[in-house]
Amino acid sequence: MIQSIEHAQKRNIASNIFKGSVGNLIEWYDWYVYAAFAVYFSSEFFPTGDPTSQLLNTAAIFAVGFLMRPIGSLLLGRYADRHGRRAALTLSISVMAGGSLIIACTPSYSTIGIFAPIILVLARLLQGLSLGGEYGTSATYLSEMASSGRRGFYSSFQYVTLIAGQLVALGVQIILQQMLSEPDMKAWGWRIPFIIGAIGALAVLWLRRTMDESEQFSKMKSESRANAGTIRALLKHPKAVVTVIGLTLGGTVAFYTYTTYLQKFMVNSMGLPKEVVSWINFIALLVFVILQPLAGMLSDRIGRRPLLISFGILGTLLTVPLFFILEHTNSSIGAFLIMMAGLIIVTGYTSINAIVKAELFPTEVRAIGVGLPYGLTVAVFGGTAEFIALWFKRIGIEFLFYFYVAACIAVSLIVYLRMGESSKVSRIEAELDETKIH
C-alpha cells in the first residue's frame, strides 16, 4: 500500500514536471527561432548594408527583447507569488504565442517600409516580457514540485527544455534548408518556424491549465500572501538578490556566447557553410541536453557549489584559448569539439542555476526573487553579448570579446567562492520541515 502511494506520488511529480517543462520548451523555441533564422530574415527587415551590419541590426533587436525580461520578471513574478505558479505560467505562454504570430505575419521592409522593423521590435518586446516571467516562475515551479533529495535533478529540466527549444528551432531550420532554396528561405521560408511556435504555444495552454499548484504556494500563510511578490518584501533579502546577480553574470554571458553567438561566429568569422554550422550546433546542443540532468543529479550528491566553482575556474582560464583556436580552425569537426568543450564548461552553471536561486528565497517572493535579479542581469549582459561581439568584429578587434567573456565569468567565480552551499540552507526544505512540524 505504501509503495503504491509512493509510486503514485512519483508519477504525479513527473507529470507536473513534464507539463511545466514542455511549456518552457515552446517558450524558448519561440525565443530562439529569432536567433536561428536571423541570417535569413535580416535582409527582409534591414535591406541595406553588408551582412555584418544586417546581423548587427537584428542582434540589436534581440538585445531589445532582453530589456523587457526584467519587466516580465517583475510583473509575472509578482503575479505568480500572489496568484499561483500555474496561473502565471499559463499567462506567459499566451503572450509568447502572440509575439510569434505577429513576427510570422509582419510584411517585409520592401512592402511597408520602416513599419516592418518597428513591428518586429514590438513583437520581440512581447516575447521578452513573456520570457522574463517564464524563467523565474518555471524555475520556482520545478524546484517546488521536485521531491526532496532530487531537486537538482528535476530542476535541471528547465535547461533541458530551454536547450531543447533551441534544438527544435535548429531542427526546423535544418529541415527547411533541405526542402527550400536559400532565396525561398529569405523570401518566405523563415516565417514557417514562427507559425509553428504560435501553434505549439496554443497546445501548451491546455497542458498548463491541468497542472497542480505547488505545495509550498498552496500552504503559504495568509499573512505572507498579503505581501507576496512585492519589491518591498524582496528587498528584505538583499544578500540573496546580490547573489543571484553575481552568479548569473558570468553564466548568462557564457551561455549566450556558446549557444547563440557561436553559430554566427562560425558563419561570419570562420566562413563555414550555414548548413554545416546548423548540424554542428544541433549535435553539440543534443549532447548538452543530456549533460544537464546528469550534472543535476551530481549536485544532489556533492552539492551545488562545486559545480559552480568548476564552471568559474574553467571558464575564466579556457575561454580565450578556445576562441583563438576556433578562429584558426577550418575543420567542422574541430569547430564541433571546441564548441562542445565550451558547453561542457557551461554545464556547471546551466544545470543547477535554477535550483540554487530558488533555494535562496522564501515562498512569498520566490518567483520574483529568482526572476527579477536574473532578468536584470541577463538584460544587461546576456542579451548584449551577441551585439558586443558583432560590434567588436565590425571595428576590427573581435578578439577583445573573448577577454570580455572570460572577465565576466571571473566576476561570477568570486561570488561562487564566497557563497555558501545553497542545498544545506535551502529555504524550500526549511519551509517544508516547518509545515510538517505544525
The answer to which of 50-59, 232-241, 279-288 has the lowest mean pLDDT is: 50-59
Residue 1's pLDDT is: 52
CA distance 291 to 308: 15
Q: Annotate 297-344 with DSSP letters as a single string.
A: HHHHHH-SHHHHHHHHHHHHHHHHHHHHHHHT---HHHHHHHHHHHHH
Determine the residue type at 160.
Answer: V
Q: Architecture of 19-210+235-437 per CATH?
A: Up-down Bundle (1.20)
Cβ neighbours for 41, distance < 8 A, ≥ 6 positions apart: 58, 186, 190
Using the predicted structure, report yes or no on whether residue 302 has a pLDDT greater than 90.
yes
pLDDT at position 229, please?
A: 85
User: What gap in Å lies between CA 267 and CA 65, rounded to an integer?
Assistant: 23
Average pLDDT in the 1-28 region?
A: 74
pLDDT digits (tens, 9 = 90+) for 170-218: 889 889 989 999 889 988 999 999 999 989 888 888 888 888 888 888 8
Q: What is the pLDDT of residues 284-294, one digit of tens each?
A: 999 999 999 99
User: Average per-residue pLDDT in the chain?
Assistant: 87
Residue 250 pLDDT = 97
Three-state SS letters, 151-163: HHHHHCHHHHHHH
Which pLDDT value is given to residue 5?
54
Q: Where do the structural domains in the chain lie, given as residue ranges?
A: 19-210+235-437
Nearest Cα to Cα of residue 190 among 200, 181, 199: 181
Residue 112 φ/ψ, nearest 5 degrees: -125, 10
pLDDT (0 to 100) of residue 20: 81
